Structure 1
Amino acid sequence: MLTIHLSWLASSVQGHLGWCNPYWLDCHSVSATGRYGLGYFIFKGGMIPALVTLSLYWWLNQQWLNRLQAKNSQTLCVLGGIASVALLIYTLSLGHVGDTFYLLRRTGVIVYLGLTFIAQLLLSAALARHITQGKVLLRLSIATLAIALFSLLLDALPAVDYKSMDDAFEWLLILLLNLHALFVAWLWKTHNLRLMLK
């Protein structure tokens, strides 16, 4: 979240993007923030280390679920790893022109968002069976799904100018996915999780 907001700020300050609220209508996509000038370097420089951290995040959650003896914990690491690779492909292809790069970006972001949501839903459902706060995570995942489905419904309605709100939904969904991860990190602290290196 820090990376995309810094990229948006840098691109706007340098005049590559017009000033607007990315969470509102007729603004810019997340991709647009990392295509030009300083934003290009901030985006790549921030996202690539974040992807490594993201893979570790899913591995740690898998270890936690193993401790809780939850089902399907192995799936988290697989989904999270594939999602991280997909986001890496998206990140590296951003800022380059051509049909191939467009296909890589589109595939990368769709796979990342889809698999990350599924992994979060599995984690939320597993934690909801073992700890009270897991139910909050599950409700957050359901809300994220409801917003995504609502955006698809708006896109299907011919009377709605969905193009003007498409980017705002993208920013909102990414915000919700990141809030989920931050809430999980808070749960690690609350439940006194420690990673022991032996």
Structure 2
Amino acid sequence: MVTAVVFDVGETLLDDSREWGAWADWIGVSRHTFSTVLGAVTASGRDNAETFRYFRPDFDVAHERQLREEAGLGEQIQESDLYPDVRSSLQALRDLGLWVGVAGNQTARAGQLLRDLELPTDFVATSGEWGVAKPARAFFDQVIAAAATKAEKIAYVGDHRDNDVVAAKAAGLRTVLVRRGPWGHLWAEDPLVQRDADWVIDSLDELPGLLAP
């Protein structure tokens, strides 16, 4: 029985369109061009950061992120970035008595921005705060420690085949792939997802019915 549910962030809770658009503007390419290259990188299963190197081979994401902050164009997370089903589903899961957490590959700043939204969760953390990122097993060890329960009682919800479904399953968690955003749609029918996902859903509002004790 699942007693805890932990959510990825980008394209699971947040629509990343505005942030990717901001990056395109920052490096001076059209948003259409940037998104097309990002799609090609995604389809080949490579890390998102490689997208920038098609435009600037020496691109340093961390350094450029700092420059954006200094220019007053830094990372923001707003209520309008949340997918419409986020608050309702998180609250419904808590109403069922489940422990609800958020843990994704995000910056430390994103962790604070997410907490500022006051989502109906018991816990929020990011890879930037933990110093370890998915798909590393140590990331999921942190998830298990935060939920304070056995791995098999935790459902990890995300949109990414390798970082979320395959990695969480390897760590002993139950797994849910949400079919939205480029990764969720691309990999929903992938053989590895079919092997490792306990559930594939179209909306987070499906979760309470699936995970009710």
TM-score interval w.r.t. the shorter chain?
0.3 to 0.5
Decide which structure has greater helix share.
Answer: 1
Give the TM-score normalised by structure 2: 0.34
Give the TM-score normalised by structure 1: 0.35
Say which structure, 1 or 2, has more relative contact order (CA 8 Å, 6+ apart). Answer: 2
Q: Which has the larger radius of gyration?
A: 1
